[in-house]
Structure formats: structure tokens, C-alpha cells
Structure 1
Amino acid sequence: MIKTNPHLRIGQREVESVIAMTELVSGIDDQQGGRYARPMAASFLVNAIGPYLKAEAPDEVRRALLSAAADHCYLTGYMAMDERLDGLANRYYLKALELSRLAGDELTFCTTLRGMSVMHGDLGDGVTAIRLARSASAASPQAGPRMRAFLAGQEAHAAALTGDRALAMLRIKQAESAMEKAESQAKAFGSYDPSALHYHISQVRYELDDLDGAIKSMQESHQAREPAYRRTRVRYGAMLAERKFKAGRLDEACTDWHRVLDEYPLVQSGRVDDRIREMQTLMTPHLRNPSARELHDRSRSMAT
């Protein structure tokens, strides 16, 4: 239980300020990356949300505050993961689970479990990723179609990481079906949209050794992505280039990587940095090729 401060009382206005700040920081993160946005979120968490959580409040306001604080902790954890501060991200995620449980906020609880699954998948830990993805799905039995697609897409990717082809394909079909229903309705959940679904399909195909299919789906993801998500566009653009390179399409890959480098200086993201380093590693054996040499030299000059 959280101890309360009898000398401080809050109302719905403070809850709305937490929601507004979370939305503001989320937009900055989408454009500029976690390394830029997380310090703002962390400072607000300590200096505003912390005291609010200890303040006196009516029960309805307290539940709303716990829910808003949980969402803010989840976002802060996601940005820490984007920085590649995975231990710190996990601590924020655990706090988000605690707060959302206290609030009875099923949506944020399962979203956080899903975020933890993404983190472990990025680290190559498919076993933990699939366990967390299943827990996320189980935590939200009454989810609407967009949320079901959101959860099924991650479970499909995690299953593919473990080599479970049958489960991965089943979950992708479920995600596609749920997304079709969701798109026929008003948008109701965050940023999970056809672009995100195509990304999950690409990830599943890639892990199941369908390289051409993975490239096709990643291109479809790119075409469907909203302009606001620059950090995602840069990171996934680099992943698309990597896959084209592995398919022997060197010139196309170099063209895509140059597009990535056009926006790379605008993004502060450890996960994007990982992709640039991977590109440099892949190019090193091919420096006799003029396109590869030009790309490699450009990326090194930007890093310097």
C-alpha cells in the first residue's frame, strides 16, 4: 500500500495533468527517441506523480491517478528499453504492473506485460518473450479487436523466435482477423495499426526463414506508417535494408540505408544506434563496392 500525505489533496485536475504529460512525452519519443524524451518523463514521475500518489484523494480520483501513473511508468520503461537500458526498463515495467493492478487497469497491465515480452524478444530470449506474451493475452480476456491484434501480433513474433511455426502462424491469422474488425470501427487503441501488424508479419516470416516474405511485409509496413513515427521509421527502415542486403540486393539496401541516415541525426535511440552499427559491420567486407564504400564512409563521418 502507498502511504498518504494528509497535508496534500488532489483532484481530477492533477490526474489530467499526468495524462497530458504522458501524451506529450509519448509524441516526443515517437519523433526523437527514448534517449531524448525519457529524462522528462522520469523527472515528472519523481517530482509530480510521486507526491500525487501520496496525496489524499477521493477513491475515484485515486484509481484514475493510479491508472495514469501506471501508463506513465510503462511509457518511461519503453523509452528506457529504447535507450538499451534494459535493467532500468524492467524496473519501470514492474512498477507499472504494480500500479495498474492497484488501479484495476486491465489495459495497462496487459500492455506492460506485452512491452516486457518485446524487450526480451529484442534480447533474443524467445522463451521468456512467449511466456510474457501469453500472460498478456490471459490478462485481458475481454479485450476489443484492436487490443487482441496488438497482443496476438507480439505472441506470434515470440512464438517464431522459439521456432514454433504452427503457433506463430495461428497467432498471425488471429491478429489479421482482429485487425480487420478493428479497422472497420473507430480507432480505439494507441498506435497498433496495419503498419504495426505488417511489421509483426515481417518478423514472423524472418524468424521462419522466409526472407523474401519478410522484406515484402516490412515494405508494406513502411508504406502504411503514419509520418509522426519517425523513430520507428528509421529503425525499421534499417531493418528492411539489412534484409535486402542478406537477400543479395546490395544496391537497394544501400539506397534504403542512405534514407535512414538522412533522418538518423534527428533520433536519439539506442536501438537505432544498434542498427547503424550493424550496417557498418555488414558493409566492412564489401568496401571495394563503390556504393558500400560511400555508405560506410558517410555513416562513420556522422558518428564522428
Structure 2
Amino acid sequence: MTNDRLASWLDRSGLSRGELARRVKAKALLWNEPHVATSTTRVRFWIEGQIPRQPLPDIIAAVFSDHFGYRVTTYDLGLGEGAGAERALVYNSSYAATVEVVADLGRADVDRRNFLAGVPFAALAGIGPSRDWLMNTLDQSPEPGPRVRLEDVTAVKNMFGEFQKMDVLQGGGSGRLILAEYMNQHVYPLLHRTYSDDVRRALCEAAAEQTYLLGWMAYDNGEHGVAQRYLIQSLRLAEESGNAALGSHVLAGMADQATLLGDPAEGRRLTQAGRLGLTHANSPACLADLWCLEARALALLGDKIAAARAVVESEKAYANARLDEEPEWAAFIDPAYLHGEHANTFRDLGDAASADEHARRSIDHARSQKRARRGAMSQAALAVSHLQRNDLEAAYAAGVRTLNLTQQVRSSRAIEAVHDLQRRMRPFGSHRLVADFNERTRELTAAA
């Protein structure tokens, strides 16, 4: 059956079959796919209905997208669903290919959310990226790149703080699509036209920061497959920028996600890679975060002594942090965050007294900053510490505060903290407080 869609797009483009073949071959080389061969005859076969194997459909779509100046998908061209989501799991050695992948991921996120929402989290996908980032960070030899104005980079960096504040105060589900649209319209296009090496590094750093934030917001919103792909591409952009601390920060996010999704061993390994990367950079706040997340992983692995030691190392590192010397992306790494995560560590270790202490300190800081998400998660940890001491009434009171704060944000992590608390109340059976909490949870879930 003739592929009328492809024929129509080719006719609109004004390109000959031979020119399309040449552009596809050139794009394949940019994507580090030198084995791809094409010709006028192959283009004729495509128009006659033959669907080529990947990565050709994605490469063809990228050629048309470049030509028209807006996204053209494999679906638009009658070539089926693309493999862009899977390519975003790859840490590509080619900078040009990385630019294409992250831009395509962003466009798919905005344009075809139903398709991208179904992509799975790949359990072992972090192994290669973390290894390659670490090797290249410890032996950095960047190549010169194309040019962009410093004013463009400054504008991007100025926007980062606003989006990060939106995430911290309102939850990842609140502004993620707004950030994705901003990245597609204003940031990813710049990656195609960078110029001097210094500006290129600055632009990659700014793009890595915001791509990480996109991934983190997706993670907080429960979109783990999407989050993973953004984080891997953010790690690659961080390498291109030469900012080792930023790369370590991205690895911290990947570690947090791996641990949350049930692989604390992988989470621990990622934190260790991040700490090793910091031998070439100085960010006590990032180091504190990495130790904090390693403690979380160790607690789930059942290593009580090592987990407690990691908490101490986290606190020692943070004692050396100077907020005015830390990058803007580290602003959230503060007592509200760290004590909240330490509370979860001691909760998982069954140390109710220590969990209680850290949870209360986190709650106090979060309240003063009006951080509902962090407050909700720390209230949940406090509630669990009460349950571990068989104090259902105190747990219920903290649980209600968790529910009230969770209603103020759009965060699947906060909702999961509520559900976790609900599961931990089950041993108390049909007690009226358990029944009331379950009913309140149902109302929250229905509203969400």
C-alpha cells in the first residue's frame, strides 16, 4: 500500500528523492549511525509502502523537522511510532546526536503525551550513563562548538530559579508541562546553533540544569519512564558543560529514583559514582545530598551501621556548605530536605526516636518556608515513627496533617507517602481512627 503521507510531505518539502536520501545519510552520520545506507531507490520503496527499520524512521522524521522548522513525527510520515523514547535511554558519545535526542524527547513530551506517558522505567539503564559520565569527567577533553549569545544563556539561567521554586512550593505536577513547553520553544532550539566553546559550555550547563528539573518534576509526578530519560540526557549535557558538580547532582536524582523504585543497590552505586565525580568539583551541599541518599539506600539494604554513618557524613558535609557559594540548583538541599530524608532513613531502620527527631526538625523548617510537599512527607515520616511505638492517636494526628498538606501540591510522592501510611495502619484493624483516615485518603485520591 502506497505511503501517501510520506509522499505528501516530500511533495510539500520540494525535495527530490535523491536530496532526501542524501540528507538522511548526513543525519545518520550526525546521530553516530554510519551503517545506515540509503538511496533514491530506497526512498521510492518507502513511498510505495515499505517501512524501514529503526533508526531510519526517526532519522527521516528529523530531516523533515529540520527542513520545516517544526516537529514532524514518524507517525505524521506514515512510518509508525518512533523510537525516540528508547534513544533517550542511551548516553550518546556524539554531542550532535544528544542535541537531537533531547530536543525530540522534549517535543514528544509536549506534543504526544499519551504515547510518552506509557514508556517504562528501565531498571539497569543508569549503569552505562553513570560509568561513561564518570570516565569522561575524570578525563575531560571537550571539542570546540558552534556559537550562541551569552545573553541567551543568561536568560535561560534566570528562568531556572522560577521553575525550581514552582516545583519546591507546588509540586512537580504543577508546572512540568509549562517548563517542557519553555524548553521546546526557547532552550532546545539554542542547542542547534551554539557557537564559541565558552558559550557552548555555558549553554549546555543551563540546558542540563533545566533538563534535570524536567526529569525531577516528572519523577515527583510519578512519570518515571519520562523522568529517567530526561535525567540521562541531562547527565550527558552536564558532561558537555564540564560541570562535574552538576553531573553529580544528576546522579543523585537518578539514585533517588532507583531507590524509590525498589533497587537500593543501584541507588547506592549511583551515589558512589556521584561522590567520586565530586573529586573534581566542590559542592558540600551536593556531597551532603549524595551521602543522605546513600543512607536511604543502605537503610533499605538493612545495613544499619553504614546507614547511620552515612547520615553523619551527610551532616558533616552540609556543615561546610555556604549557600552563597553553592549553585542555584542546590538551593533545595537544606535542613528541611536533609532532615526529612534522614527521618525516612531512620524510619526504615526501625529507629523511631531518631526518625521522630529528624522529622520534627524538617517540619519546622518546611513550615517556615511554606513548603507543603516537604512538610507532608516529613509529617508522614513522623506518623510512622508514632506507629512504630504503637501510638495510633499521635500517628493519626500527624497523618491528617500529611493529608492537609498533600492537598496543597501536585506530587505523586506526597500521595504515595499517604498511601504508605495507610498501609502501615492496617495492623490496627477496624479502629475508628484507621477508618476515618482511610476515608480521608479516598477523598484525597479522588480529588487528585
1-structure distance, mates of 2:310, 2:422:
35
Structure 2 residue corresponding to 1:68, chosen from 192, 195, 206 = 206
Structure 2 residue corresponding to 1:85, chosen from 212, 219, 223 = 223
Task: Give the aligned partner of residue 229 of structure 1.
Answer: 371
Task: Give the aligned partner of residue 143 of structure 1.
Answer: 282
Residue deviations 1:85-130 (CA, integer Å, cap 9, x gap): 1111110011011101011011210000011101111112111011
TM, length-normalised to structure 1: 0.89
- Unmatched tracts of structure 2, length 5 or more: 1-94, 100-145
Aligned letter for 1:130?
Answer: R
Residue deviations 1:60-94 (CA, integer Å, cap 9, x gap): 22111100000001111111111111111110011
Structure 1 residue corresponding to 2:386, chosen from 231, 234, 244 = 244
Structure 1 residue corresponding to 2:297, chosen from 154, 158, 166 = 158
1-structure distance, mates of 2:384, 2:349:
16
Q: Give the alignment of 1:29-178 within 5 angstroms.
A: 29-141=167-279, 142-178=281-317
- More off after superposition, 196-205 vs 268-277: 196-205
Helix, strand or coil for the counterpart of 2:369?
A: coil
1:287 Cα offset (Å) = 6.7
Aligned letter for 1:241?
Answer: A
Conserved? CA contact 1:133–1:158, under 8 Å: no
1:293 Cα offset (Å) = 3.1
1:269 Cα offset (Å) = 1.1
- More off after superposition, 266-275 vs 93-102: 266-275
Aligned letter for 1:170?
Answer: R
More helix by share: 1
1:296 Cα offset (Å) = 2.7
Residue 11 in 1 paired to residue 149 in 2? yes
Conserved? CA contact 1:97–1:109, under 8 Å: yes
Task: Give the aligned partner of residue 275 of structure 1.
Answer: 417
1:27 Cα offset (Å) = 1.0
Taking a change above 3 Å as real, the CA distance of residues 56 and 224 of structure 1, as seen in their structure-2 partners, is: closer
Identity among equivalent pairs (%): 27
Aligned letter for 1:125?
Answer: D
- More off after superposition, 71-80 vs 229-238: 229-238
Residue deviations 1:236-264 (CA, integer Å, cap 9, x gap): 22232233223311111111122222232
Residue deviations 1:119-163 (CA, integer Å, cap 9, x gap): 111112111011000000001114243332222222222222222
Structure with greater Cα Rg:
2
1:178 Cα offset (Å) = 2.1
1-structure distance, mates of 2:284, 2:405:
34
Taking a change above 3 Å as real, the CA distance of residues 78 and 220 of structure 1, as seen in their structure-2 partners, is: same
Aligned letter for 1:96?
Answer: S
Structure 2 residue corresponding to 1:2, chosen from 86, 93, 96 = 96
Taking a change above 3 Å as real, the CA distance of residues 70 and 293 of structure 1, as seen in their structure-2 partners, is: same
- More off after superposition, 168-177 vs 250-259: 168-177
Structure 2 residue corresponding to 1:195, chosen from 336, 339, 352 = 336
- More off after superposition, 251-260 vs 222-231: 222-231
Structure 2 residue corresponding to 1:218, chosen from 346, 359, 362 = 359
Aligned letter for 1:239?
Answer: A
- More off after superposition, 221-230 vs 60-69: 221-230
TM, length-normalised to structure 2: 0.62
Conserved? CA contact 2:343–2:378, under 8 Å: no
2-structure distance, mates of 1:176, 1:154:
12
Aligned letter for 1:110?
Answer: S
Give the number of equivalent residue pairs. Answer: 301
Task: Give the aligned partner of residue 289 of structure 1.
Answer: 431
Conserved? CA contact 1:244–1:252, under 8 Å: yes
Structure 1 residue corresponding to 2:403, chosen from 261, 270, 273 = 261
Helix, strand or coil for the counterpart of 2:387?
A: helix
2-structure distance, mates of 1:242, 1:208:
12
2-structure distance, mates of 1:283, 1:99:
44
Q: Taking CA–CA contacts closer than 8 Å with sequence separation of 6 or more, which of the two structures ends up with the larger relative contact order? A: 1
Conserved? CA contact 2:259–2:267, under 8 Å: yes
Taking a change above 3 Å as real, the CA distance of residues 208 and 298 of structure 1, as seen in their structure-2 partners, is: closer
Taking a change above 3 Å as real, the CA distance of residues 250 and 187 of structure 1, as seen in their structure-2 partners, is: farther
1:284 Cα offset (Å) = 5.8
Task: Give the aligned partner of residue 347 of structure 2.
Answer: 206
1-structure distance, mates of 2:420, 2:187:
38
Conserved? CA contact 1:30–1:228, under 8 Å: no
1-structure distance, mates of 2:202, 2:433:
55
Conserved? CA contact 2:336–2:374, under 8 Å: no
1:25 Cα offset (Å) = 1.4
1:272 Cα offset (Å) = 1.6
